[in-house]
Chain A
């Protein structure tokens, strides 16, 4: 399973756009990229998933360049409630969607 590398932490202010980049240099052809958000005392919550180019939903956007060796999670206009740990995961459905978590990025949103 591909290993991922993310910044350990990021700080932002309310109303700003936040971009968290994840490196996955050895991503395989069948791998998908998935991002999760985790608040204290809760299980991770699915944010977005993509394979290539750009994916957008009501919460975030995911940008994946052509070589797929990295991806960027974009959170528009963050609020204090977006303070959480964000995990980037790479996994293939050949493994039944088994996901291996990296260290994650602690995002702190300040007022």
Chain B
């Protein structure tokens, strides 16, 4: 299965600032998704990262708050903008080699906003 690297693994940020999280995969993948997992909770899908075009956001998530880039088939970034303490969470990148393959997850970025 694909090896997924997320950077940073954790960060502590001040409110009002922005953080960009990187997801690097060691092979080309068709599908890339970004999830959020709040403490003690399940995972919530933020958006589908589309290569070469705008991401597709789920209900409750907007591009201005969570801009996503995907310049190629191995890399994506998620930015958490104008952060507030409510954004404190784990953000996870998920990839699928193709439409017939199960998704695999990175170990996430633990974000704390003070």
Contacts and interface: CB of A to CB of B under 8 A. Distances in A.
What class of interface size applies to chain A in its complex with B?
10 to 19
Contacts of B100: 93
Contacts of B43: 44, 87, 101
Contact of A99 (B99, B103, B107): B103
B42 interface: yes
The secondary-structure label for the interface of chain A is: loop
A93 B104 contact: no
B102 interface: yes
Contacts of B30: 96
Query: Which of A44, A93, A101: most chain B Cβ within 10 A?
Result: A44
A100 B45 CA distance: 7
What class of interface size applies to chain B in its complex with A?
20 to 34
Contacts of A96: 30-31, 48, 96, 99
Contact of B104 (A46, A103, A104): A46
A41 B107 contact: yes
B102 A87 contact: no
Query: Which of B45, B106, B110: most chain A Cβ within 10 A?
Result: B45
A102 B99 CA distance: 22
Given A49-B102, A97-B103, A87 B42 contact: yes
Interface of B: 1, 4, 30-31, 33, 35, 42-45, 48, 92, 94, 96, 99-108, 110
